[in-house]
Amino acid sequence: MFVPNIFQFQKINYLFISMLFFCFAALIGLFAAIKIVHPTFSQSIPFIILRPLHTFWVIVALLSGVGGIIYKLTLHTFSKKEHAFYSLNFLCFIIWSSWVIVTGQASGREYFSWPLISSVFLEMFLIHLLLRLFQSKKKLYLQSPEAFWLLALGLLFIQNGLIESQYWHLHNLFKNYVADLSIQWHSIDTFFAGINTALYGGAAFLLDTKPKPLRKPVLFGIAAFSLLFTFGHHHYISPQPTLLKNLALIASLLAVISFWRHVKAYKKINPQQFKHDLTFPLWRAIEFWTLVSVASGVLFAIPQFNLWIHSSYLVVIHAMGSMIGVNFMIIVLANLAERKILTSSNENWLQNPVKWINLSLLGLWITLGLNGFLKGWQRFYISVDYIQSFRDNMLLLFPVLGFFLLLGIVRLSYGLWKLNHMEALSELG
Amino acid sequence: MKTEADIIPRETSLEPSTSIKQSYRRILLVFVFNLLVSFSAYYLSLTQQDKISQSLTMTANQQLGQLVWQNKNCYTCHSIYGLGGHLGPDLTNEAGRRNRDFIQAYIQQGSIGMPAQKLDEKPLQQLIEYLDFLNKTGEFPTHTFPAHPYGYYSNIKQIF
């Protein structure tokens, strides 16, 4: 009889799990896109399962990515039993939450669709990552002070957002609808800001060749202020406190400074410098999509524009650009860091999928962006049938572009898996 | 097991004045402030209903209606104040646009894009009460420009 050895979980490759779940999420996303243009498609898989499953698996992919990067950076000081315990917690989080969502019993809250018990499993895993990080603090700090505090803060923010997302279980404290809405938005923003910050910090560790000193106090103050208060721009058109809206406006507009810094970083990329470096397309894609995400974030935070596009597909693409365009590419880069086998013979598997992903994302940006813009037009000026039918027809491109996005992600993941396999073989022989 | 030497080698020539304590201070500062912002957002939201002279507190039935909304995963297709899916319409003011019978029939029987919910009488009434409550909390989307969602633009419009 086959008896699984639970201690094997210590060898779990979180970066590989991350790529796998990006593929799953893209596949479910494609189903959802087809369902949007053709509501009667596959009645057995309703949208109430597809959407939470899609967002949940993206979250699993991102969290695994954070875990993988921390595993790659830190010392192994945990015992086998401890490893097995924490890894099992993460696996329980994935399996139990997926089961709950697939059976149509998701929590019914945006993004945090898993049950309370799954949050406990995830919390255990996050504590483990934090402990690991602080066990290697001195070494990591010397490598890159800026990256260290970003990574540590990112992990703390993820936990903070996770805990806040479960407050609604305290029904008596959340009888006030606006208080519930405020905390809900704050938890979503804190959770995803944490993931973005941790991945950005991780990328700085893996990719920067020189130690990155802590940024100057003024720049730190601006970055911290933006990080803390931008969540309020979701409240512009809901009955939230005015103070939060005003602070959000200031914080979001200060992000122009961040945009300017990214423009400078993008300009600095010299293709000649990367001529023989296969990771150049990934670098360029990360910088490009960071620019797009920051620019769109600033634009959407301008009140007049926010009123126009709020609750439209334009907001979806802002998230999609940062999740796939930036975070996915960072995780791919983390996978490639320290690779021994990375020669020009395996150039195409890396460069072509990145092109596909970039083009599909750009296509989605244009299609969904125009759709959202026209929705705003209908809201403020005139809603005539031909605009609505034009918007509906435009969405036909959604599954087509989603298909190419899926192909790009699968091909890239397969290439990485093959690379792993080749490396394992070369070590053996 | 990995040793310190196995971690990716790189330059570690930092200024001697740089200390890990600075990093800790930054982490702690932002983390504590984030907790404060969260608490302030909650507290300020509670005081909001006095300013707009409208009740934003749900009755027991309305709160149960919110749970029906969650249990049925309505947010996947519909949004409230823009939070949720975009496949169906935003339902913040649906109770103001349609009469109770229409909403009831629509929920129970569905349409091409929306599955029939076939709820029992009690949860159905609770859900409708919840939608009724939401309609009274404000207007979404605001059709006039500039909008006045509870004084926001009265403070900001001078900037533009």
Task: Report whether pLDDT(B92) > 80.
Answer: yes
More confident residue, A273 or B23: B23
Q: What integer pLDDT is reported at residue A419 of this predicted model?
A: 79
Q: A73 contacts in B (CB within 8 Å)? A: 7-8
B80 three-class SS: strand
Tokens of B106: 């629509």
Residues B84 and B125 in one domain: yes
Q: What integer pLDDT is reported at residue A94 of this predicted model?
A: 96
Long-range Cβ contacts of A270-276 (<8 Å, 24+ apart): A276/A344
Task: Report whether pLDDT(A155) > 60.
Answer: yes
Residues B31 and B96 in one domain: no
Give B159's DSSP letter.
Answer: G
Tokens of A24: 């799953």
Residue A348: which residues within 8 A CB-CB, separation 6 or more? Answer: none
Residues B65 and B42 in one domain: no
* A380/B145 touch (CB, cutoff 8 Å), yes or no: yes
Query: What mean pLDDT, rounded, does chain B reach?
Result: 79
A 168-227 → B contacts, CB under 8 A = 171, 175-179, 181-186, 190, 205-206, 209-211, 213-214, 220, 224, 227
Residue B73 is assigned to a structural domain of this protein? yes
B79 three-class SS: strand
Residues B42 and B71 in one domain: no
Q: Which of A46, A244, A311 sits opposite B115 (nearest CB)?
A: A46
Query: What mean pLDDT, rounded, does chain A reach?
Result: 84
Separation CA A110–CA A115 (nearest Å): 12
Residues B71 and B131 in one domain: yes
* Burial B144-156, CB ≥16 within 10 A → b, else e: eeebebbebbeeb
A 388-427 → B contacts, CB under 8 A = none
Residue B120 to chain A, least CA–CA distance (Å): 18
Residue B152 is assigned to a structural domain of this protein? no
* A157/B31 touch (CB, cutoff 8 Å), yes or no: yes
Tell whether A374 is within 8 A of chain B (Cβ): no
ipTM for this model: 0.86
Residues B44 and B73 in one domain: no
Residue A80: which residues within 8 A CB-CB, separation 6 or more? Answer: A7, A10
Residues B47 and B81 in one domain: no
Across A157-161, A223-227, B78-82, the highest mean pLDDT is recorded for A157-161
pLDDT grade for B150, boundaries at 50, 70 and 90? very low
Express each pLDDT in A116-128 by its tens digit.
999 999 999 999 9
Residues B69 and B93 in one domain: yes
Residue ending a domain, among B57, B86, B106, is: B57
Structural domain count, chain B: 2
* B141/A48 touch (CB, cutoff 8 Å), yes or no: no
Residues B111 and B79 in one domain: yes
Residue A366: which residues within 8 A CB-CB, separation 6 or more? Answer: none
pLDDT grade for A8, boundaries at 50, 70 and 90? very low
Separation CA A277–CA A22 (nearest Å): 25
* A228/B34 touch (CB, cutoff 8 Å), yes or no: yes
Q: Phi-psi category of B82—alpha, beta or left, where left has phi over 0 and alpha has psi -120 to 50?
A: left
Residue B154 is assigned to a structural domain of this protein? no
Contact present, B35 and A160 (Cβ < 8 Å)? yes
Residues B69 and B104 in one domain: yes
More confident residue, B20 or A176: A176
CATH of the domain at B74: 1.10.760.10
Helix axes A145-165, B20-51, angle to 10 degrees: 30
What would the mean pLDDT of A242-262 be, rounded to a whole number? 84
Residues B69 and B113 in one domain: yes
Tell whether A380 is within 8 A of chain B (Cβ): yes
Q: Which run of H or E residues covers position A362?
A: helix A348-380
What would the mean pLDDT of A89-103 be, rounded to a whole number? 95
Contact present, A130 and A152 (Cβ < 8 Å)? yes
Tokens of A292: 């797009």
Give the range of the structural domain holding residue B24, as residue numbers without chain letter: 16-57
Express each pLDDT in A361-402 by its tens digit.
999 989 988 988 888 888 777 767 788 888 888 889 989 999
Residues A24, A26, A27: CA angle, nearest 5 degrees: 65
Q: Where are the beta strands (DSSP E) in A27-185?
A: none
What would the mean pLDDT of B146-155 be, rounded to a whole number? 42
Separation CA A32–CA A38 (nearest Å): 10
Separation CA A363–CA A355 (nearest Å): 12
Residues B126 and B64 in one domain: yes
What would the mean pLDDT of A254-266 be, rounded to a whole number? 82
Give A215's DSSP letter.
Answer: P
Q: What integer pLDDT is reported at residue A346 of this predicted model?
A: 56
Separation CA A196–CA A198 (nearest Å): 6
pLDDT grade for B16, boundaries at 50, 70 and 90? very low
pLDDT grade for B160, boundaries at 50, 70 and 90? very low
Residue B68 is assigned to a structural domain of this protein? yes
Residue B146 is assigned to a structural domain of this protein? no
CA dihedral A169, A124, A194, A113 (to 10 degrees): -40
Residue B117 is assigned to a structural domain of this protein? yes
Q: How far is CA A11 from the centre of its chain?
A: 24
Residue B130 is assigned to a structural domain of this protein? yes
B 51-70 → A contacts, CB under 8 A = 52, 56-58, 63, 67, 69-70
* B151/A48 touch (CB, cutoff 8 Å), yes or no: no
Which of A246, A252, A208 shows the shortest CA–CA distance to A226?
A: A252
Q: Which of B27, B72, B77 sits opposite A152 (nearest CB)?
A: B27
Amino acid at B127: L
Max CA separation in chain A (angstroms): 70
Q: Which of A153, A178, A246 sits opposite B27 (nearest CB)?
A: A153
Task: Report whether pLDDT(A25) > 90.
Answer: yes
Residue B2 is assigned to a structural domain of this protein? no
